[in-house]
Structure 1
Amino acid sequence: MGEDSLITAGMLARGLADVHERLLFHGDLVRQDGRMPPRMRRALARLSAQSLRDGADDLGASIHNVMAMAARPMCEWGMPSFQGDFPWANIVLVDGDLGQPTAECFELAAGGGSETELLQEIHHERLRAAAERCGPKMRDRAYREIRGLVVRRPCLPTADLFEFIEDWLTAAPDVQSFYRPLPSTALHGKTLRLCAGCGSPLWPDNDVVSFPNGRCRIRDCRMRHPTCEVAEEFEVTDVGEWRLATNAVLAYWTGPGLAEIEVHDRLKAAGRTVDLYPYSDAADVSVDGRDVGIDVKSYASASLLGARLARSVGQITMFRRRILCVPDARVRQDNGYLKTLKAIALQGEGKCLEFMTVSDVIRELAA
């Protein structure tokens, strides 16, 4: 495998991140003209050249085609150089349901030297600022409860959101910014169906054979609960009476948070002293104060996650025992996931971590 394919993939990730930044902060439409971000233009040219070398169709001819294609694993693009032993073959660069670059896309962009400010970090900064406004005594609790809300209740009645906000009035604008009015397209007629796996809507889907009750748009949830069962149904006469987390919050907090709250809730039920997002997110879960810190990561690519951890493990170093765990479904998809992850992460800061699956963590610490 030549390095050309790695460079092309990195440039595409940076280009897609730039396009999304333009959409997010400037409201620009995606255009194939002079207003296209320069790095996206260079990425398309490089993709076209590589398509020619691979004997494939010109995949870089249209940015719109690339953005649609990026919602599938790179190994499915029809280019031999993105298949076989290509380390990012299974990476999806854009979440097709939510229209957001994936965490892997941002990580690949950052690893390639991009200066793009990651969207998930923007949201974290907004949440940290909101928690700070609640005062030093309430800061950690505010962070935990506000972030816990969007993970546990991504879709909720507007009245419930306002009731929650009453306890955190200084953070009200930030909390409200994490939600939007429920789109009418989420309804089945006038019925809202909430997913049993995550609490977000089950959206009407053309594939009624596979998704008779509707389809959950949270990738991490579908990975855990592919049948998309219904938890509750509500008759909705006014969509303004409901709020749904924004696509970015669903992609970067709600989805990854499913495994985080599973670890927390299972250990708490076993009688352990646990906190969710302790010390304003120094870890995802703490056990017995600073004795154990647990971070849960759900990257499709073990090599990208390993590279991130080799660069930095964050504030989990404040705990005496530090565990990085991944959802069991990732290991079922790739038997060598943990081996690859450790081989890369242990070359850098990740050498301070233990690596487990979610079930392994629960089994050991709940005993």
Structure 2
Amino acid sequence: MRQAMHAGATEHGDESGFHESTNNDRLIASLAALVIRLARMSLFEGKMVSGTSRTHGSPVGLGPDDRRAMGAISRACLIQGLPDHGAEIHDLLALCTRPLGEWLTLPEVVHAGLNHTVLIHADDGIPTAEAEELAAGFTGMTAAIEEQLFARFMDVLSRHPEGQANAYYTKVRDFVVRNPVCNLDDFKLGLTEEVPARVWLIIQREFYEAVPTGWCVDGTVPICDHCGNAMKKGRAGLVCRTAACVATYPARSSRSVAASSVMRVARGIRQYWVEPGIDELRLYDALRASGTPAELYPFRDRVDIAVGDTGIDLKTYVSPETLGQKFKRSIGGLAYYAQRLLVIPDWHVASVPSYLYRLTRTMGRDDVTCLTVSEALARLGSKESGYA
């Protein structure tokens, strides 16, 4: 899939009047499902995306569902007087790396609060969490891409006693998020003595890959001082490749490494573990520093963080409406906890008008509390909480 600009590049307007859509959102769901289908074909089957129609015995091409989704986008665009964005698949996928409100200015997009939603992560070419959520339940959608990416890893863990498997999961995920770029010595020091050989071999072979020479800046790869990820050239200098880091810290790099001496996390791992993990580990580290007995990714990611009978899920969906619909349908692992917190990074709440209000309204339930990271830290770190 083509790669272009990152989500969140546009300025947010006032969207507080948005309301939930009903039948109209099937158009966006079908587009999201198209993105998911083609991503699976590219990621797991190793097939290229082709604009030709798939025929019997042909390994590549678009199927009937793909053509129907493109046709629906074309019709909607022509009715609204927009260019025919559904005519060519590569052009359509390239547009999906941009906020929907920039190119698909349809009533369905506005009414569902999706103006700033991006369906494909621009740098990695991976469907965003919102794309998977919008496609959930759509005809032909089966296991999530995240589940497929981590299937072998989870299968190996399942062969160990539950307590050990849980501990290995937390150790591996913690290491990967803290080391998006690392050399083999760091990898061995961080994992090989902590987890079984069968586990760390999978991590080395499937979760990490060689750093391309295209990541070099003046011959070496600059490393971010804040999150450890590689940096790239921006308009005003070096910029971290991690969105959460860019939104929170000033760019700073005090060291560079040769591309041939290090590995980077694979693109799917960056999308599902590293990007959200930056804020998860910030909150976890802050809780531990305050003396709060926090657990990271308990029971193989039942929730992101647990503190006693309090479960915490941290999310960074661009659209509060999409996230609200997700939790309206199911609260997932939070159901195991008496106190349930849905936490959004402060930088993310500040960038989207009325985020928590719109999220709470769409979710429509009183058994989950929506907070910013700073509010959650203050709540759990206070003496009144009984944890600090």
**Scaled by the length of structure 1, what TM-score is found?**
0.89
1:272-304 Cα deviation digits (max 9, x unpaired): 1111111221211111xx322111111111111
Q: Pairwise mapping of residues 156-235 of structure 1 onto structure 2 (< 5 A)? A: 156-167=182-193, 168=195, 169-176=197-204, 177-205=206-234, 207=235, 209=236, 212-213=237-238, 215-225=239-249, 227-230=250-253, 232-235=254-257
Call closer, same or farther: CA 1:223–1:112 in 2, change over 3 Å.
Answer: farther
Alpha-carbon shift at residue 148 of structure 1 (Å): 0.6
Structure 1 spans left out of the alignment, 5+ residues: none
In the superposition, relative to structure 1, how do residues 217 and 62 fare at CA in structure 2: closer, same or farther (>3 Å)?
A: farther
In 1, Cα distance between the equivalents of 2:232 and 2:99? 23
Q: In the superposition, relative to structure 1, how do residues 116 and 240 fare at CA in structure 2: closer, same or farther (>3 Å)?
A: farther
Give the letter for the 1:183 counterpart.
P
From the superposition, tell whether residues 334 and 250 of structure 1 become closer, same or farther in structure 2 (CA, over 3 Å): same
Q: Would you say 1:357 and 2:372 are equivalent positions?
A: yes
Number of aligned residues: 353
TM-aligned CA distance change 1:53 to 1:127, over 3 Å: same
Greater mean deviation of Cα atoms: 298-307 or 159-168? 159-168
Counterpart-to-counterpart distance in 1, 2:226 and 2:209? 21
The reply to whether residue 57 of structure 1 matches residue 83 of structure 2 is yes
Structure 1 contact 186–204 (Cα < 8 Å) conserved = no
Indicate conservation of the 8 Å contact 1:179/1:245, yes or no.
yes
CA positional deviation for 1:132: 2.8
Q: Tell me which amino acid in the other structure corresponds to 2:241.
A: R
Secondary structure at the aligned position of 1:352 is classed as: coil
> Residues 235 and 297 of structure 1: is their aligned pair in 2 closer, same or farther, counting only changes over 3 Å?
closer
Correspondence list, 1:1-367, <5 A: 6-34=25-53, 35-77=61-103, 79-81=105-107, 84-167=110-193, 168=195, 169-176=197-204, 177-205=206-234, 207=235, 209=236, 212-213=237-238, 215-225=239-249, 227-230=250-253, 232-236=254-258, 239-287=259-307, 290-347=308-365, 351-367=366-382
Indicate conservation of the 8 Å contact 2:224/2:240, yes or no.
yes
Give yes or no for contact 1:133–1:170 (8 Å, CA) kept in 2: no
Name the aligned partner's letter for residue 343 of structure 1.
Answer: R
SS at match of 2:328: helix
Q: 1:130 and 1:203 mapped to 2: Cα distance? A: 35
In structure 2, relative to structure 1, the CA distance for the partners of 1:123 and 1:22 (3 Å cut) is closer
SS at match of 2:136: helix
The alpha-carbon distance between structure 1 residues 16 and 116, as it changes in their structure 2 partners (threshold 3 A), is farther
Q: Is the 8 A contact 1:297 1:326 kept in 2?
A: yes
C-alpha deviation, 1:114, in angstroms: 4.8
Shift, 1:86, TM fit: 4.3
> Post-superposition shift, 1:313?
1.4
Q: Name structure 2 gaps, 5 residues minimum.
A: 1-18, 54-60, 383-388
The TM-score normalised by the length of structure 2 is 0.85
Cα distance, 1:79–1:324 mapped onto 2, change above 3 Å: closer
User: Matches of 1:57 and 1:69 in 2, distance apart?
Assistant: 12
User: Secondary structure, in 3 states, of the residue corresponding to 2:82?
Assistant: coil
Report the more deviating stretch, 31-40 or 301-310: 31-40
- Relative distance call for 1:188 and 1:11 in structure 2 (3 A) is same
Identity %: 27
- Change over 3 Å in CA distance of 1:24–1:83 after alignment to 2: closer
Q: Aligned AA for 1:147?
A: R
- Contact preservation (8 Å) 1:270, 1:366: yes
Question: CA 1:43 to 1:196, structure 2 compared with 1: closer, same or farther past 3 Å?
Answer: farther
Instruction: Give the stretch that moved more between structures: 297-306 or 113-122.
Output: 113-122
**Is the contact made by 1:180 and 1:244 (CA closer than 8 Å) also made in structure 2?**
yes
Change (3 A) 1:338 1:14: same
Letter in 2 for 1:221: C
Give 1:178 deviation, angstroms. 0.8
User: Which one is further off, 77-86 or 252-261?
Assistant: 77-86
Distance 1:277 1:86, change over 3 A: closer
Q: Tell me which amino acid in the other structure corresponds to 2:202.
A: D
Contact 1:220–1:255 (Cα < 8 Å) also in 2: yes
